[in-house]
A and B are shown apart, each in its own frame.
Chain A
Amino acid sequence: MPFQTKDTGGMNPREREELLKPYLPAAPRLHEASIKRKQHSNKTASGLGVRNVLKKQLYALSFALIHAIFSVYIRIRIACHAVYLRIVSVLYHHHHTPEYIQRDVSGLSRKPKHLSVILNLEEGGKRVDAKEKLISEVADIAAWCASAGIQMLSVYERTGILKDEMQQSHREISAKLRNWFGKYQAPDLHLHSPNMEVVHPSYYSAPAHKGAAEYGIAIMLVAEDDGRESMVDLSKVLTVMAQKNKLSPADITADVIDNELTSSVMAEPDLLISFAPYVDLQGYPPWQIRLTEIYCEQDNQSVEYQVFVNALRKYAQATFKLGK
């Protein structure tokens, strides 16, 4: 569809076609392909065949060459990024002190209320300590969030291994938070997961009034099942209701679905950080990431504090406008 739109105002279709001719593929596939094939079979083993073979060889050669160059370039890029992150993380280390993190985020014009991260189980969970490593990563991020004043954190991990023993995860993350903040200043941790009971601190009693629940940090554990599958489950419920005439399919609106998915799975996060080398959603809940700002530090491999801070900075800069 290569129209040169700018000067086409006063042209007629014929002139426009003339303009396009050089850009078009040599032969139309539909009409002339069959004719061409006939001609081809007539001239058996003509010069054309040799030329095509040569051309193909040339393409293969230049493909190898381009990819060799690109591979070198990408390795240099990865190395540069790694060095940069190292240097910055040495310069701005948080020293496990919440005050340092507060200082880092104090200049930001706005902060996400709900932060989401995508974490990976190392080597598909084959290593024995993979789960422990994952929990310690969650605990680190929770501590950063608590220091930065973000009260809602959702952790997406594809396999859902974190949801298996939530009590244990809660214990370990709480221990880490106490490490950071001291035994008495540590924020209360509430561990949520779709369709599961909330794990509160042992001394926790339901707040007498609503404002009391404001402090502390809530972590939501989300897995692949809570993505597309949750929408399938919702469809099943809606179908059963429709079959029993409790609802007509016309009543299903985006608001109904949004309301259900928000209350049973999770709300739309403001910022999503991927700690992978490139953005890979890995089955992240599709409904919820509509307007989520996605941050991914290019070529980064691990969960680093610096990535977290960079993401918050980028989020503060991003202008927000829907449809405008």
Chain B
Amino acid sequence: MSIKADANVQRWIATLPPISWALRQAREMLIGTLRQGPIPQHVAFEMDGNRRFAKNNHIETIEGHNMGFEALAKVLEVCYKCGVKVVTVYAFSIENFNRPKSEVSGLMKMAKLKLEQLCQHGELLDRYGAGIRVLGERDMIPDDVLPFVDRAIEMTKHNTDAVLNICFPYTSRAEMTAAIKATVDEFSMPAEPAATPFSQARITETIRSKQPKRAEPSLPTLREDSPDPAAKSDVDDSVSSTTTLNPGSPQTEAKGKGKAMPFKDAESITVDSINSHMYTADCPPLDIFIRTSNVMRLSDFMLWQCHEDTHIFFLKCFWPEMDLWHFIPVLLEWQWRQKKEREGRSGRRLKTE
């Protein structure tokens, strides 16, 4: 219980008027200072170490999670004040469902409570201009938590200055799988015909009425030309399907329909098309990835997003200990590297000139 007592004493000292005023001024000063340099647009946190922190300090596991939430609130405040646009946090992994039942239900209860509190303070969140989004497998959220999730999203929908992504039942592999699936879906749906005042049915009708005799002899050859569609390539498929639909004159039909293939070309799939189906599609690229508690793994979080130009930091502190003073060295080092990179680039340019 000593950790709690310590925290209480600290809080009591911090609330003494002169000290709280000085602390606030110092924070303002620091944040204002950091804003002078480049600011990351997108920061991701893997909040690791709540349980180990609780164990080391002999407090309940759920109390550790509670303190972790408090730390998150502090860090978010710093981030948004500095001007970070998107913060992504890993709240709950799909694998976490394997934890002891009591802990999972405790976490869910906490999620419900926090989201409920969020809803009560809707206008306070507005001050940061932060909109909440929940990323992950929606159908895995327990039924009793889901309404709270929806309400929190709904209430902060109009905030577009900043985004808080909460990854809740999430794993990166599930995300990538979903993105690939969505891409395949997109490209295997027949392409919608362009809106046009001309009616295909009318055209075929006219053609048929104009050339009633020629259509008859062309039918047998048609059947030969369109056997089992599965055995042929896509282009053949498209021809055979159009011809079977309109048994008019196959040659002209095929030529006229050449542009409007029933499927989009699979070869036109690029990294961007998969990227556009990721949960973070409309977020800026990930600049900083922070994982606490000295574990050096990504652990199925932001695998696709940590691709390049993401600076990955593994911090030694446990997540509940995370605050401004742990975050600032990271930000400073990132700014320093950014400066180095820019110098390196301009130096190279000078050399080549």
Contact = CB atoms under 8 A, between A and B. Distances in A.
A294 interface: yes
A281 B306 contact: yes
A63 B328 CA distance: 13
A35 interface: no
**Chain B contact surface mostly:** helix
A324 B70 contact: no
A293 B93 CA distance: 18
Given A25-B81, A281-B306, A242 B121 contact: no
For this complex, into which size category does the number of interface residues on chain B fall? 35 or more
B33 A286 contact: no
B99 A239 contact: no
Contact of A235 (B120, B274, B333): B274
Nearest to A23: B77
Interface centre among A4, A254, A283, A318 (most CB of B within 10 A): A254
Interface residues of A, number: 75
Interface string B256-290: 00000001001101110110000000000000000
A31 B123 CA distance: 10
B121 A63 contact: no
B124 A24 contact: yes
A236 B77 contact: no
B337 A278 contact: yes
A107 interface: no
Nearest to B73: A2
B99 A324 contact: yes
A286 B304 contact: yes
Contacts of A67: 37, 332, 335-336, 339
A60 B36 contact: yes
Interface in A273-324: 278-284, 286-287, 289-296, 314, 318, 322-324
Nearest to B51: A324
B69 A252 contact: no
B130 A1 contact: yes
A6 B74 CA distance: 13
B118 A293 contact: no
A94 to B, nearest CB: 24
Interface string B279-310: 00000000000000001111110011011101
Interface string A228-266: 110110111011101111100110111001100000000
A13 B120 contact: yes
B174 interface: yes
A138 B297 CA distance: 24
Contacts of A232: 269-271, 273-274
A207 interface: no
B308 A3 contact: no
Interface stretch (A14-22, A146-154, A182-190): A14-22
B37 A254 contact: no
Contacts of B176: 231, 257, 286-287
B197 to A, nearest CB: 29
A7 B36 CA distance: 36
Nearest to B99: A324
Nearest to A12: B120
Given A70-B336, A291-B298, 7 more contacts: A4-B73, A5-B73, A24-B127, A238-B180, A254-B174, A257-B177, A281-B310
14 contacts: A1-B128, A5-B70, A62-B29, A67-B335, A244-B237, A246-B230, A249-B184, A252-B180, A252-B184, A279-B311, A287-B176, A293-B296, A294-B297, A323-B97
Interface of A: 1-6, 8, 13, 16-17, 20, 22-25, 28-31, 55, 58-60, 62-63, 66-67, 70-71, 74, 227-229, 231-232, 234-236, 238-240, 242-246, 249-250, 252-254, 257-258, 278-284, 286-287, 289-296, 314, 318, 322-324
Interface of B: 7, 20, 24, 29, 32-37, 66-67, 69-70, 72-74, 76-77, 81, 93-99, 114, 117-118, 120-121, 123-130, 158-159, 161, 164, 172-174, 176-177, 180-181, 183-185, 187-188, 230, 234, 237, 263, 266-267, 269-271, 273-274, 295-300, 303-304, 306-308, 310-314, 332-333, 335-337, 339
